Amino acid sequence: MAVLQSKQDALQARLSGLQFAPGGWLGAARSEALRRVTAMGLPGKRDEYWRYSDPTGLNATDATPVDLFDPLDEPAPFSGVDRLKIVFVDGVFDASQSDALALEGVQIEHLAEAGRADIHWASALYGVLETRGQSPVQRPLAALNSAFAAQGVLIRVTATPSKPISLIYQHKTATSDAMLHHCVKVESGAEVTILENGAAAARLSHVMEVDVADGARFHHIRAQGRAHLRQAITHLFARIGRNAAFKSFTLTANGHLTRNEAVLELLGADSVAHVAGAALGDGDFHHDDTVFITHAAERCESRQVFKKVLKNGAVGVFQGKILVKQGAQKTDGYQISQALMLDDDSQFLAKPELEIYADDVKCSHGSTSGAIDETALFYLRSRGVPLRAAQSLLVLAFLAEAIAEIEDEEISDDIRQRLQSWLARHEH
Amino acid sequence: MLEINNLHVKLEEEDKVILRGVNLSIGAGEVHAIMGPNGSGKSTLSYVLSGRDGYEVTEGSATLDGEELLEMEPEARAAAGLFLAFQYPVEIPGVGNMTFLRTAVNAQRKTRGEPEISAGDFLKLVREKAKTLKIDADMLKRPVNVGFSGGEKKRNEILQMAMLEPKMCILDETDSGLDVDAMKLVSEGVNALRGAGRSFLVITHYQRLLDHIKPDFVHIMAAGRIIKTGGPELALEVENNGYADLLAEGV
- The one-digit pLDDT tens for each residue of chain A (428 residues) are 567 888 999 999 999 989 998 888 999 999 999 999 999 999 998 899 999 999 999 999 999 999 888 777 788 999 999 999 999 999 999 999 999 999 999 999 999 998 888 888 999 999 999 999 999 999 999 999 999 999 999 999 999 999 999 999 999 999 999 999 999 999 999 999 999 999 999 999 999 999 999 999 999 999 998 767 899 999 999 999 999 999 999 999 988 999 999 999 999 999 999 999 999 999 999 999 999 999 999 999 999 999 999 999 999 999 999 999 999 999 999 999 999 999 999 999 999 999 999 999 999 999 999 999 999 999 999 999 999 999 999 999 999 999 999 999 999 999 999 998 888 888 75
Q: How near does any CA of chain A get to the CA of B219, in Å?
A: 25
Q: Determine the Cα–Cα distance for residues A187 and A185; give it in Å rounded to an integer.
A: 6
Q: What is the pTM of this model?
A: 0.88
DSSP A405: T
pLDDT at res. A193: 98
- Helix and strand numbers, DSSP H then E, in chain A: 10, 19
Helix axes A374-382, B97-111, angle to 10 degrees: 50
**CB contact (8 A) between residue B50 and residue A382:** yes
Cβ-count burial B182-201 (b if 16+ within 10 Å, e if not): bbebbbebbeebeeeebbbb
Q: Note whether B95 contacts A: Cβ–Cβ < 8 A.
A: yes
Residues B187/B165, Cβ–Cβ less than 8 Å = no
Residues of A in contact with B77 (CB under 8 A): 382
Q: Enumerate chain A positions whose Cβ falls within 8 A of a Cβ in B.
A: 373-376, 378-387, 389-390, 393-394, 396-401
Does B73 touch chain A if contact means CB atoms closer than 8 Å?
Answer: yes
Interface test with A, best of B55, B64, B92, B99 (most A CBs within 10 A): B92
Average pLDDT over all residues of chain B: 91
Closest CA to A304 of A296, A315, A295, A313: A295
Nearest Cα neighbor of A129 from A283, A255, A294 is A294
Q: At residue B251, does pLDDT exceed 70? A: no
Residue B113, pLDDT > 80, answer yes
Task: Mark yes or no for CB contact A384/B111 under 8 Å.
Answer: yes
Residue in chain B lying closest to A380 (CA): B104
Q: How far is A151 from chain B (nearest CA, A)?
A: 41
Cβ–Cβ below 8 Å for A379 and B104: no
3-state secondary structure of A85: strand
Which of chain A's residues have a Cβ under 8 Å away from the Cβ of B89? Answer: 379
Is the pLDDT at B15 greater than 90? The verdict is: no
Mutation to test the A interface, candidates B75, B108, B110, most A Cβ within 10 Å:
B75
* φ/ψ of residue A371, rounded to 5: -95, 175
Chain A: nearest CA to B109, how far in angstroms?
9
Adjacent-strand bridge partners of A177: A203
Which chain A residues touch B92 with a CB distance below 8 Å? Answer: 373, 376, 379-380, 394, 397
Cα distance from B235 to chain A (closest Cα, Å)?
29
A22, A157, A273, B100 from B144: Cα distances, Å: 60, 43, 30, 7
DSSP, res A45: T
Query: What pLDDT sits at residue B250?
Result: 59
Tell me the CB-side half-sphere exposure of residue B149, using CA atoms within 13 A: 7
Indicate the residue of A373, A385, A399 with minimum beta-carbon distance to B103: A385
Contact B50 A396 (CB under 8 A): no
Cβ contacts of B73 on chain A, cutoff 8 Å: 381, 386-387
Of A378, A386, A397, the CB nearest to B95: A397
Please, are residues B210 and B175 in contact by the beta-carbon 8 Å criterion? no
| Of residues B74, B99, B111, nearest to A382 (C-beta) | B74
Q: What are phi and psi of A111, to 5 degrees?
A: -60, -35
- CB nearest to B73's CB, from A375, A387, A393: A387
**According to the model, what pLDDT value does residue A119 have?**
87
Say which residue, B99 or A427, is predicted with more confidence.
Answer: B99
Using CB atoms, which residue from B52, B100, B103 is nearest to A378? B52
* CA dist., res. A199 & res. B73, Å (int): 40
**Nearest-CA neighbor of A156 among A98, A224, A216?**
A216
What pLDDT was estimated at residue A363?
A: 95
Q: Please give the pLDDT value at position B80.
A: 94
Residue A149's SS3 state is coil
Residue of A nearest to B164 (CA): A383
Tell me if B164 and A397 make a contact (CB, 8 A cut-off): no
Cβ–Cβ contact B117 with A under 8 A: no
Min Cα separation A338/chain B (Å) = 14
Phi, psi of A185 (to 5 degrees): -120, 115
How many angstroms away from the CA of B143 is the closest CA of chain A? Answer: 9
B125 Cβ contact partners less than 8 Å away, ≥ 6 residues apart = B117, B163
For residues B175-187, give the mean pLDDT. Answer: 87
How far apart, in whole angstroms, are the C-alpha atoms of residue B80 and residue B68? 11
Average pLDDT over residues B146-174: 92
**Nearby residues of A28 by Cβ (< 8 Å), 6 or more positions away:** none
pLDDT band at B237 (very low <50, low <70, confident <90, very high): confident
Mean pLDDT along residues B168-183: 90
pLDDT value at position A227? Answer: 63
Which residues in A lie closer than 8 A to residue B108 (C-beta atoms)?
383-384
Top pLDDT among B180 and A326 is at A326
